[in-house]
Structure 1
Amino acid sequence: MESTEVESDILRRVRTLLRELDGHHPACQCDRGMLRWTLHKKIDQNPSDSSVLVRILVKELERAERGDFRHYIIPLLHTLMYTLIQAPCVSDELCGRVYDFCKKLLTLPKPFCTIGLDYAARLKMERAAPGTLYQRMVISEQSLKSDPYPYQEKIFIFADPELLSEAICNALVTDTEAAQVSQSPRACMCSVIIHAMQAALGEGCDSSGLKASLQDMPLSEVEHWFQQVVAAVESAGHEASADRGQHAARLGKIHQDVLSSLQAGNAPLGGLQGTPLPNPNISFHLWTEDEQLWKELVLFIRPVAQSCEPECLSQELDTFETQDILSGCECCRQPRFSVLSTDSGIERDLPLPAEESLPPCGTDPEHSRLHRKGGIKKKPSPLESVAFLQAGCNAAGLKPPGKLQRRPGTPPGPAALLQRLHTARILLLGDDRVLGRLAQAYHSLRKRETRRAFLTPRLNLQFYYIPVVAEQPSTSVRLGWAALGQEELCEVATYLGRADPWYESNINTLCHMIPKLATMPSSPSKHLVTDLFITDVIAYYARMGSQPVCFQVYAVKMFFNDPAQEPAEDVFLTELRTQVQASTSPRELSLTKKKAALDGPGIDLTVTYTKVVVSDRAKELALALRSTGLVMKAIPADEAEDLECLNVTITEIIRINNLSGRSFSAVANRLRTQHITIRSTEQRPFTVCLDKDSRRTFRNVISMEVSPCLEPSYCLQKTRTTKFSLHETEDVGLVKYMPKSLLLPINTFAGVIQ
């Protein structure tokens, strides 16, 4: 009877979750997303119910497929996999049903086939070696040392202090620190051991005795058994003819060896115990420097202890060569600074390998004759030296630091032999303005990586976004943009919510929930709370959100009314807005008033653009008009529209002559384009604001050019190709297969559902 009640309660919770996806949930909109969290917390408290939940979710998935309720499939599948990863033991029959369902998804369009293929591959490994998914997730998130699975992951939370209130930042720091307190490498290794034993042995695992035995062991012995379990699970998962029985027998032997330290006559088996996933490694950063994102990624790849002293590392990062730019690329052209070389160009001056000993002075006449004296030597910083970059990755096959590359642009080692052992999950908190800063930082990082590939071969970079709008933003940011509402500031989140209902339910609801939780009075025992809602949702989003939505980054080049001022180049992601700049001098002000009385308010503009048509044929158009301003929107109002298109709205002033005199009316002139040029024919300036951020406002602009931002690596390869074929206009060779535009991928649970 009790099992029937449990099954009915879980079924009711799952059905309520599905009604929430339809928008029929009676609860308040700000409470959406709590249903999934409470469901998983219920299973954490009663691990024996995990098989019941998996069985119910499988039935609901099969019912959704038969009834053609496709919008249920991905949320149910994510919920099922998250439960299955943490479940103490799931029968092979249930895993087989889930595996067969994932294979059926391969006949559906994206993203169903993509998610189905990913989960089918994971389930195949899980069936051969139960506990693999849990083990790999804990090892990578906690950066535990393991030769069979050497991958590491970390979540970086970046928040702009100018956009979020101090209370929100403090609350997030407190929650992040509290989530890290209750976990340690020892506890994580014990969780991996216990979960692997339970997954393979089922009811035959003495979970209580195993836990007691591991607690009494010294750390070195726990590490020994941890390595034994990891090796056994990984070897079973990689074997072509893996047998579940052999895997259980192998872990059963380890199980008996671990329990051998216990005294005889202990209590009987106490049943399966839950081993919830430990909180991932999360670091919170206030985004105060432009290069802060790149610096944190470098430190993640190359920790402080392995590079240099902590006190000098910050200085070395600041003095690192930041102008790694493309010398022949128009869109990325910046001044290049020379670096003092420490290489004499003489082969005999190169450092000898470690295994060879240096001959005493005077024994080699040729060596002493070639020795250079009296030269100025500069001690290279750890971040500038090739040795530092190569030592950042311990992959086999790298050339030793002494083997210098003589050809410029050649990577320090064979890129094919490098492995991406690190995964950095960059999570942004804020509104569209923080995403604009991210687009800037991502463009700068791509330019740097084009000239010196350090992060790209070694790091898997993932971007995540949680919308948060502060009720009291900073005064410096709020000036001039008070009219923008929360919906206007969260266009990207609104688009992602329409494209992915599961993102709307779990992530977009945090936009109002995080400020609400931040203003709640803090409890004296808050640091002891284990169920941290915000941290749990962030961990769930980072673990299960693997489908990117790629947004086009646009480049803008602005010219100013002062001929001595150099043109400015920048990028934007969501919006570009222009306004007529008010005149400062009394003479210009009087001329402006006379002009407005004759021709109306605004300035005369010449607009040249490429019209976007269905046939993809370029069509150049030009028009002259009088306008008070324009807005370029890069985020479409409908998820079905193309993301690689600008929707431009120009406020045009129309002069009307009638019997009562002359009057003016404002008309919205709309056009769709990818390339557009705006010029002020009167040389009257206007202001340009990027991504709704008043800190990124440019004044005294008289002309600007907007186009899709090109991928820096494409620009470099294109430049090299045109050197050999000056009259070649089409992309040839390697350029033809490279991505042309710079796209910013933001991960969601499903991507864009067609």
Structure 2
Amino acid sequence: MAMPTTTSSGSSPAVENPEVESDFLRSVHALLRELDGHHPAFQSERGMLRWTLHKKIERNLSNGVLLVKILVKELERAERCGYRQYIIPLLHTLMYTLVQAPGVPDALYERVYDFCKKLLTLPKPYCTIGLHYARQLKLERTVPGILYQRLVSAEQSLKNDSFPYQQKVFMFADPDLLSEAVCRAIATEIKTARTSQGTRSCMIGVIEHTLREGLKEHCDLRTLQKILQAKPLDVIEHCFKQVVAAMEHAGRDMNAEYNQYAEELEKIYSTLLTTENKGVDEAAAEGSSGNPLPNPNISFHLWTDEDQLWKELVLFLRPQSQSCEEDSLSQVLDSFEIQEMGPDYDGCEQARFSVLSTDSGIERDLPMPDDEVPEAERSRLQRKGGIKKRVSTLDCLSLLQTGSNGQGAKPAGKLHRKCGSSVMEPIAQLKRLHTAQVLVLGDDRVLARLVQAYYSLRKRESRRAYLTPRLKVQFYYVPVMEEQPTSCSTEEYALPNQTEPCELAAYLGRVDPWYESNVNTLCHMIPKLATMPSTPSKSSVSELFIIDVIAYYVRLGLQPVYFQVYTAKLFFKNQGLEPAEDIFLIELHVTLEESDPSRDNLLMKKKTTVEVPGADVTLVYKKVLLSNREKEETASLRSTGLVMKAIPSNEIEDLVCLNVNVAEIVKTANLSGRSYSLVTNKIQARNIKMQSTEHRSFTVCLDKDSRRIYKNVIGIEVSPCLEPSYCLQKTRARQTSLPGDEDVGLAKYLPKSLLLPINTFAGIIQ
């Protein structure tokens, strides 16, 4: 595919400034040294280099062309010399500058476009990111300024009919995990960023950037700025809608001539110049070097309600749907009151159907009592039950759009963890106009809360798709750690506690170095900034480090890494209690409870041998092999507990399985008599069952959270969590299929396992 070029002579070249260019070159090389781990800066200050570099550009966007030149040269050198670890960070840095920088020559666009096409020959994630940016570059050269317009319009929810897409960042923090000072500091930054920008200024920014990029040297920017600043809001809104309509019309018709697009902008520009502009402030004639991206629309929430995520997403859709589809959706929205939602979908065996009434409303059609109906008329007038009306095929297929892994019910050929945006394209194209970017703050325990909310949301959607056809949900994670989480194990002979509080973030940092540099650095920096005394500079929008980094993350972090969710079924010592079911994402910790010494002392009163700790347990599990075969094995041993890890400790053994560490007690003989020692056995299993043969109970802790501890447990069953939509379709198909048939009907097209996607900059770099 050829790179489209404009027919105009192009913008004037940027003024060469050797000092600025040398400063940018040093900053870029420092970024590369940081990726290699050779930068002398403190580990806690990683990420400041990228932020400082982009701040230099935002203060004077006319220097963006110099930075783009440097980044293009470094990208070409990295590709030529085989330094693949530099490609994705440099490409993200370049594109973030390219969207904002004005007057980038066509020759530079051509070089970046050619480089992105070369990435198509490389494996994932290089080819995925290269294709994504190649499409963006082609669209930008066809319709100059459209990337800036679409991003700002969507993030700021600027109302217009030509581009109705909107997105919002939902930031969730668990008040039990983060201190009040940290929550207040984040909320203050969000408020400062919100008050420093308004709808009017965002619209003016889009108009200025579009006319500058579209008209090139024919646009007098200083005069345009003076005119727009003097215009009332209604005129600004009308001009904004005209600009967006012209851009989107050209964007839909990729074969349209650039001159037609330029003529539309010229008409808008001429109309602004010919109108009277009384009361123009002459001080505004200084103008600005460009229009930096405003901070996205972020809402901060303290996670106090289990259904809070679902409620916020419904409230986000409500006003948007009423404005865009008021007539068709008003009745639907009224029926989805939050307080009136039914109970959650429980398991595969329960299916919910609506009942279609056959009552005609005519009195004579009502059945008479049996003693009053003649024998000949009884069968004809007998009222039949309601018809079970299933959900339409279109509603079922809509679940494919948000399937956790985009694959059918059959297991994948490879066991390695899945990454990249390869979600199945739906058969019926359903238009989703809104994107919710859900970002959680905290350690691994907040991710456990997120996966519970996600599972609950998927169960609601499996019953009746409301959010799915209208909303795209993306998940982001920023680790924040203030104190070590309390350990779930207190046994002397239990497994050593080497748990990382931010284990999932550490894994993402290993597979994506740019995530490590830009996001993991916030883990200790956010609490540090929250405790710093307030200064006048902190109130400036240009110094909002946390919000700027989060904005960079949600804008460029578009490659998801999928994590398997697991179900734990717990059987209690009290047989009167029903088994409990729960899910976990990161870890399940089992420790044997202390035995009751009253009964044991009577039995061991005359014995001199030392009591062996732990209890006899039986493990039944499906062992995972590299050949993708599953082998069922059984083991009986004496153990004090075990730890099941769902997150791999390193990227080399990145298999989708449970890494189980079992603390086994082994008897040994020495000169002083019989003794015992602790041995750790390692197992990789797809699923596992554990049963205490001595009827000794144990304690189960899920995802390192002391609030999720189960006691008096004598057996557990752990297996991959099934996707609720798959369970529902399989249950419905089971009613009409023959025994033994599996994955029939729509179930074979739906994802079988529930996977939680967390977005990063690159996914998993092989």
For 1:287, the equivalent position in structure 2 comes to 303
2:182 is equivalent to residue 168 of structure 1: yes
Which of 156, 178, 187 is matched with 2:201 structurally?
A: 187
Structure 1 match to 2:35: 21
Distance (whole Å) between structure 2 residues aligned to residue 623 and residue 498 of structure 1: 34
Which of 410, 413, 425 aligns to 2:392? It is 410
* Residues 561 and 764 in structure 2, CA contact (< 8 A), matched pair in contact too: yes
Q: Report how far residue 649 of structure 1 moved.
A: 0.6
Residues 186-219 of structure 1 deviation map (CA, whole Å, 9 limit, x = unaligned):
1111111001011112333222221221122121
Aligned pair 1:318/2:342, yes or no?
Answer: no
User: CA separation of 1:730/1:316 partners in 2, compared to 1, >3 Å: closer, same or farther?
Assistant: closer
Structure 1 residue 131 corresponds to structure 2 residue 145: yes
Corresponding position of 1:688:
700
Query: Residue in 2 aligned with 1:260?
Result: 274
Which residue of structure 1 lines up, in the alignment, with residue 752 of structure 2?
740
Matched, 1:666 2:678: yes
Q: How far, CA to CA, are the matches of 1:168 and 1:43 in structure 2?
A: 29
Q: Which moved more, 1:127-136 or 1:597-606?
A: 597-606
User: Aligned partners of 1:486 and 1:600: how far apart in 2?
Assistant: 25
Query: Distance in 1 between the 2:442 and 2:607 partners?
Result: 42
Instruction: Give the 3 Å change call, closer, same or farther, for CA 412–126 of structure 1 in structure 2.
Output: closer
Length-normalised TM-score, structure 2: 0.84
Alpha-carbon distance change, 551 to 412 in structure 1, aligned in 2, over 3 angstroms:
closer
CA distance in 2, matches of 1:168, 1:139: 30
Decide whether aligned partners of structure 1 residues 508 and 185 sit closer, same or farther in structure 2, where only a CA change above 3 A counts: same
- Answer whether contact 2:487 2:497 (CA < 8 A) is retained: no
Q: After TM superposition, list the pairs within 5 Å mapping 1:202-601 onto structure 2.
A: 202-262=216-276, 273-303=289-319, 316-326=337-347, 328=349, 345-346=358-359, 407-410=389-392, 416=428, 418-471=430-483, 488-523=500-535, 526-583=538-595, 586-587=598-599, 600-601=612-613
Render the CA deviation track for 1:55-78: whole Å, top value 9, x for unaligned. 111111111100000010000110
Shift of 1:644: 1.0
Post-superposition Cα deviations, 1:288-337, rounded to whole Å, max 9, x if no partner, equal: 1111111111111113995999xx999952342232445526xxx9xx8x
Cα 1:283–1:724 change in 2 (3 A) is same
Q: CA contact under 8 A between 1:632 and 1:646: conserved in structure 2?
A: yes
2:300 alignment partner AA: F
Q: Retained in 1: the 8 A contact 2:225–2:285?
A: no
Deviations 1:71-106 (A, max 9, x none): 100001100110011112222221121111111111
What residue number does 1:399 align with? none
Provide, for residues 428-453 of structure 1, a one-character-per-residue CA deviation record: whole Å limited to 9, x for no partner.
11111111111111111111111111
Do the aligned partners of 1:232 and 1:247 also contact (CA within 8 Å) in 2?
Answer: yes
In structure 1, what is the equivalent of residue 716 of structure 2? 704
Residues 1:552 and 1:116: Cα distance change in structure 2 (over 3 Å): same
Q: 1:57 aligned to 2:39?
A: no
Instruction: Tell me the residue number matched to 1:80.
Output: 94
Structure 1 residues 53 and 283: alpha-carbon distance in aligned structure 2, compared to 1, 3 A threshold: same
Cα 1:136/1:675, change in 2 over 3 Å? same
Per-residue CA deviation, residues 590-630 of structure 1 (Å, 9 max, x unaligned), is: 66999995661001100011111122222111011000110
> Which residue, 91, 99, 109 being the options, matches 2:105?
91
Contact 1:10 1:53 in 2 (8 A): yes
- 1:453 is matched by which residue type in structure 2? A
2:621 maps to which residue?
609
Aligned: 1:632 with 2:644: yes
Q: CA deviation at 1:723?
A: 2.8
Whether 1:43 and 2:29 are equivalent positions in the alignment is no
Quote the Cα distance in structure 2 between the aligned partners of 1:54 and 1:687. 57
CA contact (8 A) 1:676 1:707 kept: yes
Distance in 1, matches of 2:435 and 2:53, equals 29
Q: Does residue 1:117 correspond to 2:104, yes or no?
A: no
Taking the aligned partners of 1:513 and 1:719, their CA distance within structure 2 comes to 49
8 Å CA contact 1:689–1:696 kept in 2: the answer is yes
Q: Deviations over 1:687-711 (max 9, x none)?
A: 0000000101000100000111111
- Aligned 8 A contact 1:423 1:462 in 2: yes
**Does the 8 Å contact 1:487/1:494 carry over to 2?**
no
Name the amino acid aligned to 1:179: A
Q: Which runs of 5+ in 2 are unaligned?
A: 1-14, 367-385, 399-427
Deviations along 1:231-264, one digit per CA (max 9) or x if unpaired, are 1111112213233333223212211211223559
462 and 344 in structure 1: CA distance in 2 versus 1, 3 angstrom threshold: same
Letter aligned with residue 72 of structure 1: Y
Instruction: Judge conservation of contact 1:561–1:685 (CA < 8 Å) in 2.
Output: yes
CA RMSD of aligned residues (A): 3.3
The alpha carbon displacement at 1:635 in A equals: 0.7
Shift of 1:47: 1.2
Distance 1:198 1:588, change over 3 A: farther
Question: Helix, strand or coil for the counterpart of 1:461?
Answer: strand
Structure 2 distance, partners of 1:462, 1:98, is 28
Q: Normalised by the size of structure 1, how large is the TM-score?
A: 0.86
Could you tell me how far 1:409 is from its partner in structure 2? 2.8
Specify whether residues 268 and 441 from structure 1 end up closer, same or farther in structure 2 by C-alpha distance, changes over 3 A only. closer
Report the 3-state secondary structure (helix = DSSP H, G, I; strand = E; otherwise coil) of the residue aligned with 1:670: strand
User: Match of 2:54, as an amino acid?
Assistant: H
Return the alpha-carbon distance in structure 2 between the equivalents of residues 297 and 604 of structure 1: 48
Change over 3 Å in CA distance of 1:369–1:153 after alignment to 2: farther
CA distance in 2, matches of 1:535, 1:405: 54
Query: Is 1:199–2:181 an aligned residue pair?
Result: no
Deviations along 1:448-487, one digit per CA (max 9) or x if unpaired, are 11111111111111000011101387xxx67868999997
How far does the alpha carbon of each residue in 1:471-526 deviate from its partner, in whole angstroms, 9 at most, with x for none? Answer: 387xxx67868999997111111110010010000000110110100000112564
Determine the C-alpha separation between the residues in 1 that align with 2:479 and 2:601: 42
Structure 1: gaps (5+ residues): 349-365, 372-403
Distance (Å, rounded) in 1 between the aligned partners of 2:584 and 2:574: 24
Q: Is the alpha carbon distance of 1:619 and 1:586 closer, same or farther for their aligned partners in structure 2, counting shifts above 3 Å?
A: same
SS at match of 1:535: helix
2:371 matched to which residue of 1?
none
Cα distance change on mapping 1:315 and 1:595 into 2, 3 Å: farther
Specify the code of the residue in structure 2 equivalent to 1:279: N
> What percent identity do the matched residue pairs reach?
59
Residues 144 and 185, structure 1, Cα contact 8 Å, conserved in 2: yes
User: How many residues of Structure 1 are paired with residues of Structure 2 in the alignment?
Assistant: 692
Amino acid in the other structure paired with 1:181: T
User: Residues 287 and 268 (structure 1 numbering): CA distance in 2 closer, same or farther, change over 3 Å?
Assistant: closer
Contact 1:480/1:694 (CA < 8 Å) preserved in 2?
A: no
Separation in structure 2 between the aligned mates of residue 370 and residue 186 of structure 1, nearest angstrom: 63
